[in-house]
Chains A and B, each alone.
Chain A
Amino acid sequence: MAAVKINELHKCDLPWIIEYDESKCIQCGKCTAACSFNAIKPAVVERKKSNSIFEKNKCEKVLIIKQNISLDNYCTGCGMCANVCPNDAIKAVRNKDDKYSVAYRAKKADSLKKGGRSNLNTEGRTLDKIKIGRISQMTDPSLDATRHTFEIKTPFGRVLSADKLNFEVKNGKVTPTATLPPNSWIYPVIFGDMSIGAVSWRMWEAMAIATAYLNEVMGIPIRMCTGEGGIPTSLLKSRYVKYMILQIASGHFGWNRIIEAMPDMTDDPAGILIKIGQGAKPGDGGLLMASKVARYVQEIRGVPKADLLSPPTHQGLYSIEESVQKMFLSMNAAFKFRVPVAIKVAASATSVSVYNNLLRDPYNIVGGFFLDGLAGGTGAAHEISLNHTGHPITSKLRDCYLAAVHQGRQGEIPLFAGGGLGQTGSFAADVFKLICLGANGVFCGRTILEIAGCIGNDIGKCNSCNTGKCPAGIATQDKCLVSRLDVDTVAQNLVNYILATDFELKKLMAPVGCSTLPIGRSDALITVDKHISNRLEIQYAC
């Protein structure tokens, strides 16, 4: 009788099981070459030649594809093997009885790291339970999405109330008499904020190309946030930097180069985003595993090849007042108060307090409040953070907006929301609904990656951005894997997607009779969920 080895890892413990049809396999080797996780390998096994009991010991050796049983090299379900197989001989099948997360911790005495998305999205999405229910009909006509003009732009930067503009009335005209905080008008969707390092140089370049093209050719003033990982010097010194929002986070990665390049910059960046927190792993700093710290990442960031952990908070800032005085003032001063400086925080029960403090700051130097919900993605995180910390974006955005309304200060610090937008395939609808709930705009990462070819999902498929083995060439610095990503195609798809989104936004603005963004127009929304109705203060419908 064979010994049963209970405490050894078994195929049945892994999250995905390889289904392999020996009869179809032509042993071309494409699947093993394509698998960036080394989850499968060629193997030689013995097979009985015949089932006849009269032909004893008649065996043969055959070549097959075998699944690795390993905590490090395991199948993530990415599907690349099936993708390349010419004969449909192999595929990954989800294992409902998987015990990987238990086994990993039990064997490694370490927390499990993941990338991509949270994998415990068991609740239905709030945004999907909201509809646009206030349709213009007889009392006011709907607009025509294809014939009428629409303005899809939003302010970015601190907005002062009219009585604080210090306008002078002279000869029937009003004119500014004082220097006012920097403020620009941008498209309400921001590509962000994924660093060179978290994503491959090709992915980052594709986003930058799409951003420039949308601005210069399509007339859509979209902005891209660099993420905390610096920006190529050549881009800093080019005129295209005006479309880039430079991020600074607690690791300050990449800022040496930015500071060195400042004297040679011909244009100002679109803004600066101070990252305090992130929705996917609130209370945790950035994390870039050493496997992704390629040579050029080291150069841009000025670091050795090692795990790069940004501290969970900006060192030396003990209170929000200090934060405003030190960080925001120095960031404002960096570009001589010409560039909006915004803050990004993770949605949290404390978000309203932070927002209130910033609204009331007498220096008026906070130019945007980026609120990141728990469904947001990440390059790498401890699974415990990814799955169990955070706050949904929708109600917290609404809380912040209504807190501003309560003080008559809505719009003074533009709100940008992110975290899981487009999760169920309706990106434009998510954007529109969040705008109606009070957002000036949104920022998105996941949708961009999916447009680029990311094969992950919210129920455990792939999500291996942290490993450096991204099979789509998106979240890796491995040259072979990165070569799978075609920069021009990704850039083109991004442009196309934004053009489609732009039209779909018009298709939602038109029926509610809005030719400009309906920021805070929650009367346009209804929900069939009583709790959502009460919580968000929108109309209940049934």
Chain B
Amino acid sequence: MCRIGAIKSKNKVHPSLALKLMRSQQEGHDDSGFAFIMQDMGGLFENYKDLPLLSMAATTEGTRITEDILQGLGFSRVMQWSPDINNKKNLKIEAMQNYIFEVVQYPRSYKHATKEEKEELLIDTALKIRTALEKTNSGYIYSFWPDTLTLKEIGSPKDIGTYFNLWEGNKDLVSSIITAQCRQNTNYDIVRYAAHPFFLEGYCGLVNGENTFYEKNKYYQMKLYKGYCGFESDSQCLLYTLHYIHKILKWPLQYFKHVITPLEYDEIIKRKDKDTLLRIKASLANLEINGPNTFLGVTPDKELICVCDSKKLRPVVIGKNDNMVIMTSEVIGINDVMPDRNISDDIYPSENELIIIKDDLSTQRWQQ
């Protein structure tokens, strides 16, 4: 079973906090990897929030291929950051040759482009790079989006932290939102793309669970939108559904819950909004999930969300203080990094709940 965590803080925090949050939950993972996504960046990236930030790992050839694509499309490099590598012996990590975190300027022709046009360019470029890297087996692109940094690696989370010098906090690599998981997806192949958190156009998602409607979800999503690709993990489907409901259909977040875990017919027909819910249940039946799942997500509005499967088969707890909210699989992780909070404020979401942590850290508990 995976252990997952999401941190949202008023003050920008370092990924070391995510490592510490996940460390005590290590019995739930298998030492197979560590991955995190940072959104709403501070530190070195504070001044580049509107520009695309590329996160990838690649061989030298993959790096060259990527640079050629970016240059060819008219992107120009503005800033590059390299992690401070601690390459000491006997670390359990399958490191790539290069880790690239690069802020780029949009092509000149996009000077007056709309937000939508720019977003279209970014997803098209990311897919182009991904295809080129896959063809040559020369690397992985994790995110190419403003204000977002992603790192994923295979190995022991402790050693990955050591390798990238992530155990010691600093003010350069900080953000207000960090999502993390200390495990590769082990139901399928151990590949970097299969590691949570997943990212698409400002949406981030990670899951502790097993989506038994994976095939249904996948077959349907493959035709829905070009960005729905990969499917290395059944959990990616939940992120794509969040993206589809919220970004493409432009429905409020609570409908994400109605889609992935629709109410039973007998409950729906008692409600005032039955006409809507029955239509959703039929039209988006292929996006329903089944099996045990806890989903944590981040929206482009910098909101954290948490939903569980319809039978609440996987754990999750939300702890908070005045400056920070943490969602994670086991309370022991929150106890480690937020020991002084009022534990009576902890939330254990029910199977019908959607929890939204707004940008000001206020909590909305919405009952399906």
B252 at the interface (CB under 8 A from A): yes
Quick check: A408 and B223 within 8 Å, CB to CB? yes
Selected interface stretch from A166-174, A292-300, A314-322, A418-426: A166-174
A535 at the interface (CB under 8 A from B): no
Closest to A172 in B: B252
CA distance A408 to B226 in the complex (A): 13
Q: How far is the CB of A499 from chain B (nearest CB, A)?
A: 18
Interface residues in A340-394 (C-beta closer than 8 Å to B): none
Closest to A408 in B: B223
A503 at the interface (CB under 8 A from B): no
A79 at the interface (CB under 8 A from B): no
B286 at the interface (CB under 8 A from A): yes
Interface residues in B182-217 (C-beta closer than 8 Å to A): 187, 209-210, 212-216
Quick check: B292 and A162 within 8 Å, CB to CB? no
Q: Which residues of A contact B264 (CB under 8 A)?
A: 149, 151
CA distance A172 to B252 in the complex (A): 6
Closest to A517 in B: B285
Q: How far is the CB of A77 from chain B (nearest CB, A)?
A: 45
B117 at the interface (CB under 8 A from A): no
Closest to B219 in A: A405
Contact status of A523 and B251, CB under 8 A, knowing A161-B283, A176-B279 = no
Contact status of A523 and B252, CB under 8 A, knowing A141-B313, A151-B264 = no
Quick check: B216 and A514 within 8 Å, CB to CB? no
Quick check: B210 and A410 within 8 Å, CB to CB? no
Contact status of A174 and B276, CB under 8 A, knowing A141-B292, A165-B283, A513-B291 = yes
Contact status of A512 and B251, CB under 8 A, knowing A161-B283, A185-B278 = no
Q: Which residues of B contact A162 (CB under 8 A)?
A: 249, 280, 283-284
Q: Which residues of A contact B265 (CB under 8 A)?
A: 151, 153, 185
Closest to B251 in A: A174
Residue in contact with A167 in the complex, picked from B187, B276, B278, B281, CB distance below 8 Å: B276
A183 at the interface (CB under 8 A from B): yes
CA distance A180 to B275 in the complex (A): 10
Q: How far is the CB of A433 from chain B (nearest CB, A)?
A: 15
Q: Which residues of A contact B254 (CB under 8 A)?
A: 172
Closest to B245 in A: A162
Among B187, B214, B255, B290, find the residue whose CB has the most chain A CB atoms closer than 10 A.
B290
Quick check: B283 and A516 within 8 Å, CB to CB? no
A282 at the interface (CB under 8 A from B): no
Quick check: B313 and A520 within 8 Å, CB to CB? no
CA distance A111 to B278 in the complex (A): 51
A278 at the interface (CB under 8 A from B): no
A515 at the interface (CB under 8 A from B): yes
Quick check: A180 and B279 within 8 Å, CB to CB? yes
Contact status of A520 and B219, CB under 8 A, knowing A153-B265, A162-B284, A411-B286 = yes
CA distance A530 to B249 in the complex (A): 42
Interface residues in A118-152 (C-beta closer than 8 Å to B): 136, 139-141, 143, 148-149, 151
A175 at the interface (CB under 8 A from B): yes
Q: How far is the CB of B38 from chain A (nearest CB, A)?
A: 29
B224 at the interface (CB under 8 A from A): yes
Q: How far is the CB of B216 from chain A (nearest CB, A)?
A: 5
A159 at the interface (CB under 8 A from B): yes
Closest to B255 in A: A174
CA distance A521 to B310 in the complex (A): 19
Q: Which residues of A contact B210 (CB under 8 A)?
A: 136, 139-140, 513
Interface size of B by Cβ–Cβ distance < 8 Å?
Answer: 41
Contact status of A522 and B250, CB under 8 A, knowing A136-B291, A140-B292 = no
CA distance A502 to B10 in the complex (A): 53
Closest to B366 in A: A172
Q: Which residues of B contact A153 (CB under 8 A)?
A: 265
B273 at the interface (CB under 8 A from A): yes
Q: Which residues of B contact A518 (CB under 8 A)?
A: 212-213, 216, 290
Quick check: B209 and A140 within 8 Å, CB to CB? yes
Quick check: A512 and B284 within 8 Å, CB to CB? no
Quick check: B283 and A514 within 8 Å, CB to CB? no
Q: Which residues of B contact A174 (CB under 8 A)?
A: 251-252, 255, 276
A455 at the interface (CB under 8 A from B): no
B64 at the interface (CB under 8 A from A): no
Quick check: B219 and A410 within 8 Å, CB to CB? yes
- The interface bits of chain B over 98-135 (1 if a CB of A lies within 8 angstroms of the residue's CB, else 0) are 00000000000000000000000000000000000000
A52 at the interface (CB under 8 A from B): no
Q: Which residues of A contact B209 (CB under 8 A)?
A: 140
Contact status of A519 and B224, CB under 8 A, knowing A151-B264, A163-B249, A165-B279 = no
CA distance A143 to B212 in the complex (A): 12
Quick check: A183 and B279 within 8 Å, CB to CB? yes
Quick check: A155 and B282 within 8 Å, CB to CB? yes
Quick check: B310 and A515 within 8 Å, CB to CB? yes
Residue in contact with A521 in the complex, picked from B215, B255, B292, CB distance below 8 Å: B215
Q: How far is the CB of B238 from chain A (nearest CB, A)?
A: 14
CA distance A515 to B279 in the complex (A): 19
A25 at the interface (CB under 8 A from B): no
Residue in contact with A520 in the complex, picked from B252, B275, B276, B286, CB distance below 8 Å: B286
Quick check: B252 and A522 within 8 Å, CB to CB? no
B220 at the interface (CB under 8 A from A): yes
Interface residues in B150-196 (C-beta closer than 8 Å to A): 187
Interface residues in B288-323 (C-beta closer than 8 Å to A): 288, 290-292, 310-311, 313
Q: Which residues of B contact A513 (CB under 8 A)?
A: 210, 212, 290-292
A290 at the interface (CB under 8 A from B): no
A160 at the interface (CB under 8 A from B): yes
Q: Which residues of A contact B284 (CB under 8 A)?
A: 162
CA distance A172 to B286 in the complex (A): 24
Closest to A221 in B: B265
Closest to A406 in B: B223
- The interface bits of chain A over 463-494 (1 if a CB of B lies within 8 angstroms of the residue's CB, else 0) are 00000000000000000000000000000000
Q: Which residues of B contact A515 (CB under 8 A)?
A: 290, 310-311
Closest to B288 in A: A516
CA distance A510 to B288 in the complex (A): 17
Q: Which residues of A contact B215 (CB under 8 A)?
A: 520-523
A7 at the interface (CB under 8 A from B): no
CA distance A165 to B251 in the complex (A): 12
Contact status of A155 and B285, CB under 8 A, knowing A173-B273, A185-B265 = yes
Quick check: B212 and A512 within 8 Å, CB to CB? yes
Q: How far is the CB of B273 from chain A (nearest CB, A)?
A: 7
Among A139, A140, A163, find the residue whose CB has the most chain B CB atoms closer than 10 A.
A140
CA distance A140 to B293 in the complex (A): 9
Q: How far is the CB of B361 from chain A (nearest CB, A)?
A: 20
CA distance A153 to B276 in the complex (A): 18
Q: How far is the CB of B111 from chain A (nearest CB, A)?
A: 32
CA distance A149 to B266 in the complex (A): 12
Q: Which residues of B contact A522 (CB under 8 A)?
A: 215
Given contacts A174-B276, A513-B212, 10 further A-B contacts (CB under 8 A): A139-B210, A140-B212, A140-B291, A140-B292, A148-B311, A149-B264, A163-B249, A167-B251, A167-B276, A173-B276
List 17 A-B residue pairs with CB atoms under 8 Å apart, sorted by A's residue number: A140-B209, A151-B265, A155-B285, A159-B285, A163-B248, A165-B279, A167-B251, A172-B254, A173-B273, A173-B276, A174-B251, A175-B276, A183-B278, A183-B279, A411-B283, A515-B311, A522-B215
Among all A-B residue pairs, the 4 with the closest Cβ atoms: A408-B223, A140-B210, A155-B282, A513-B212
